[in-house]
Amino acid sequence: MRGLLLLLITNGARGQAAVWARGQRQLNRSHFEGAHATYAEQRQRIQAAVGNYSFYVYAGGAFDAITTALPQQRRHYKIAEELVEVWVHRALLNDKRRTTDPEAASLFFVPAYLSLSKNSDGQGHDERLSALIEELRSSKWFQRHRGADHVFGYSSINPGVARQLLFPKLHAGLEQSYFGVFEMNPAWVGGDRKEETLRRMVPAPYVVDASRLAGTSTQLHNHEISVFFAAHRRPNAAQWSGCDRSKALGLESVPRSSIHIKSHRRRLLDEDAFAHSMRVADFCLVMCGDTPTSRRIFDAIVADCIPLIVGTRLWGRCEAPCHEGWGWFVSGKEHPHLPFRDTYVDYTRFPRVDERLLYEDATKAYEDAVRDVTETEERDMWRYLNAIRDDVVYCVEISTPSTRRLAPPSHWLISTQVVYGYGSPFSSQKFGRAAANLMDGVMLRRLHQGLVPPALRPEDHSPLEGYAKVSPST
């Protein structure tokens, strides 16, 4: 206690925020015993709302031709996000709610490995997709509701890739169906910007290397880093939307900060160094890039690093210094980019940095965001991160000597609520909850003929005040 008081006095003399004195605490924050009560209650609430439903996964014929009949090789995937097509499909095949009787199904999942079909050595991607659409639209299960109870599990990573993978063709064939998406931008699934298209898009997490990021249950958190951020500058983003990652360099004056911004396309940090930095940091900055979304929020959740969210862009807004521009789609407050925000994950629990102030005075913006976070609240946030990890994870590729070369570079790392699974996407039997959460989100939209009612959303059931209510709710 004397050491803590002394540090507080010393920091006060230097004009530094008292929050930095918490660096003397040592907490094992990697894992906490027991469930987070509020999270457990929310999961029970949503499970009761969706009921005991089942879903059917299409197989055989054209569906196998564009999935399991293709060569199951990691080399055909350029980035981790492309593997989501395998993770979601295999996770749902292993889900206890899957039925082999389409008569008993409330939802229907449409599998298609578009990236693998396009990138594999064989030709015929267009033909395979055409055959899938034809077989699907001839199905009586599809015809029953014109595909309105059908789900396609993922999106592309930008409009250009969407066109290469023939998403516009797929979307035209499934015009009434639901799509899981990395970002609430209709162009990522080849759709138009109509409200009805947005209502059929369900945000899903990017894909994360959870094996590196999660750490072990015995690792102590010694507050080595106060705030961590490593990212490419994305120079075009400033012109397109006013997003300037270089402003994060202003945080270098914060004691124990670790900020890395690069302008060229090379590896920022070694993968292990990147993961270690996230695990030992108090807060991990989450900023926009070329688009509103960023993988960093999922990296942070998996690494037990409290996300420090910059601005309101993830909530579908565009407030100064944000401005609309080329390639920048403003989805609106009814369609935020936050995965499972309306079902399982309460992002309002995490501190939010004023983006305008960050650009003007980064240190003050940081202090304002974290100054009032007490030790009790910090512990609660860590417990919450541990509770939601499997909600955002599809997979964790195990880093063994034989597979390490297949791991994505550090700027491709992703996270579990945000996790899809663990191990090889082609053989693993250990899955996160992300794919199941996607189906729950669709089921709720079907039951309520549109968006999930506010009364079911987790942020409306948080018992916390102050730091926890930083969401731009109005």
- The DSSP output letter for 401 is T
- What is the overall mean pLDDT for the chain? 82
Model pLDDT for residues 182-202, shown as the tens digit of each residue: 999 999 999 988 899 999 999
CA atoms within 13 A on the CB side of 371: 10
Residue 218 has pLDDT above 90, yes or no: no
Side chain identity at residue 300, one-letter code: A
- Looking at residue 382, its pLDDT comes to 85
Which residue reads 């960023």 in tokens? 294
Give the global pTM.
0.85
User: Quick one: which of 423, 430, 428, 427 has its CA closest to 403?
Assistant: 423
CATH fold, domain 210-431+455-468, is Rossmann fold (3.40.50)
Q: CA 242 → CA 60, 313, 317, distances in Å? A: 48, 11, 13
CATH 3.40.50, the chain: domain bounds: 210-431+455-468
Average pLDDT over every residue of 58-83: 87
Residue 105 has pLDDT above 80, yes or no: yes
CA separation for the pair 162, 291 (Å, rounded): 15
**Cβ atoms 182, 206 nearer than 8 A:** yes
Where b means 16+ CB within 10 Å and e means fewer, 396-411 reads bbbbeeeeeeebbbbb
Model pLDDT for residues 301-360, shown as the tens digit of each residue: 988 899 999 999 999 999 999 998 877 889 998 999 999 999 999 999 899 999 999 999
- Looking at residue 34, its pLDDT comes to 52
Residue 239 has pLDDT above 60, yes or no: yes
Q: CA 87 → CA 78, 124, 168, 194, 348, distances in Å? A: 15, 23, 23, 29, 28
Q: Regarding beta strands 178-181 and 150-152, do their DSSP bridges make them parallel or antiparallel, or are they unpaired?
A: parallel
Where b means 16+ CB within 10 Å and e means fewer, 247-283 reads bbebbeebeebbbbbeeeeeeebebeebbbbbbbbbb
The token duo for 469 is 């209510």
- Looking at residue 107, its pLDDT comes to 98
**Bond preceding residue 168 cis, omega within 30 of 0:** no
CA separation for the pair 102, 278 (Å, rounded): 44
Residue 14 has pLDDT above 70, yes or no: no
